[in-house]
Amino acid sequence: MFDVGLGEMAVLVVLALVIFGDKLPQVAGQAGRMLRQFRQMANSAKADLEAGLGPEFKDFDIADLHPKTFVRKHLFEDDDSFLNGKLFDDDEPSYAAPATAGALDYGERPPYDNEAT
């Protein structure tokens, strides 16, 4: 996350000692408390989101929404359920249409819904 080398870290420590001096332990304690509060706020927000989504999304993980994780999950995992024609957990998928439903005779116009357009 941070690309800080050993020399840069030493400069930051010396700079902190010069700026804060004897108050450095107090500043470090305040920074630790602030980090703890941010972590608690994030955890409570996550718990509120999970409670608001309900039991249908009990396996929902917020980390899955990160673009890299999303792409990795949906492109690189071996999930071949779509190849088997099985997209849903139901015994009979509701998306399947009869093979003859779309067949039109020669010259027959397809159905048109005036209210849909």
In this prediction, residue 92 carries a pLDDT of 52
Provide the residue-wise pLDDT of the chain in tens; the chain has 117 residues: 677 788 998 998 888 888 888 888 888 899 999 999 999 999 999 888 888 888 887 777 777 778 888 788 777 766 555 555 555 555 554 555 555 566 788 888 888 878 876
114 falls within a domain: no
Q: Provide the number of structural domains found in the chain.
A: 1
Let me know if residue 110 belongs to a domain: no
- Separation of alpha carbons 67 and 81, rounded Å: 22
Q: Is residue 21 part of a domain?
A: yes
Q: Which two tokens stand for residue 78?
A: 């071996």
Predicted confidence at residue 1, as pLDDT, reads 60
The two structure tokens encoding residue 115: 């209210």
In a domain, 48, yes or no: yes
Q: Is 49 helix (H, G, I), strand (E, B) or coil?
A: helix
pLDDT of residue 98: 53
* 112 within domain boundaries: no
Q: How far apart are CA 106 and CA 104, in angstroms?
A: 6
Range of the domain at 65: 6-76
**3-class DSSP string for 51-104:** HHHCHHHCCCCHHHHCHHHHHHHHHHCCCCCCCCCCCCCCCCCCCCCCCCCCCC
Q: What is the pLDDT of residue 97?
A: 52
pLDDT at 44: 94
26 lies in a domain?
yes
- Asked if residue 10 belongs to a domain, the reply is yes
Q: Would residue 62 count as lying in a domain?
A: yes
- Tell me how far apart the alpha carbons of residues 62 and 50 are, in angstroms, rounded to a whole number: 9
